[in-house]
Amino acid sequence: MKLLDQDFDGTLAAVAAIGYREVETVGAFDRDPAQVADALARHGLTTPSQHLMPGNLYRDFSLYNRGGLSWDEIVRRFAIAFDFAQVDRFIAEAIERATRLGQRYITWQTNWQKQYGLAELKQHIAAFNRAGALCRSAGLQFAFHNHNLEFAVIDGMPGYDRMVIETDPDLVKLELDFMWMTAAGADPVAYLERFPGRYRMTHLKDRTADGRIAIPGTGVENFPRLIAASEKAGIEHAFVEFDQPVDPLNEITAAWKYLVSLKGMRA
């Protein structure tokens, strides 16, 4: 986000020069979606999906990345932005952005907290189903993205499992973050096999033995196994992601070189 905020066009040019052809947006980067679409096209990039950024949340995250907000405060603002009573409003905003950006997927990144229980889980499920119906009515597809905390056992099963089981499989698809799922002690391949047809996208990042995010191929994740299972499961889009990059362009360059070296990965 820092590089995009500093030099939007130049950063997109650098991403394309590495070899990437698809990107997932964070809202519309707090910009006019039409201008974003023009910039992407100018550099030969397409965008099949966006992560939801209701209201001023992108600005809040930018401020957090610059050290202007604490983690606790950004989590608080995230929860406010994703007020379940406002689902219709912020999904409508996302649909308008997606239409102008040429995107098919609108993706809700979960913000599960340790204190949440069955009541919050049910709220998430209802909100996901509602968001899915709204996206379907606009000719788009809704999905949600996992982290790790939602794998805590709630009422006899992992909360994530209930999210998948109790959401409509046609209205709600899934974006699988390998690193966060394995950090929770779960096996992504087992989930890909257990819920065929649900997973459409993945986030690719590695992790060190002590749990820190790492460049793909430098940590403990078994990427050949994960990618083979993803291809078998019909994953449509895979995105390299670094939650808190130190040297973004060098990191995504190293990730690209490793991933295209693997059998089955295409430039």
Check: CB of residue 181 under 8 Å from CB of residue 190.
no
Q: Which two tokens stand for residue 40?
A: 């992407």
Helices (H), 158-241: 159-165, 178-183, 188-194, 223-233
The domain limits of the chain are 2-261
Q: What amino acid is encoded at 179 in this protein?
A: M
E strands, 95-225, are 105-109, 141-145, 153-154, 157-158, 172-177, 199-204, 206-207, 213-214
Q: Supply the pTM of this predicted model.
A: 0.94
Average pLDDT over residues 233-252: 94
- pLDDT per residue as tens digits for the range 145-158: 999 999 999 999 99
Q: Does domain 2-261 have CATH number 2.120.10.30?
A: no
- pLDDT per residue as tens digits for the range 12-33: 999 999 999 999 999 999 999 9
Of 111, 127, 197, the closest CA to residue 166 belongs to 127
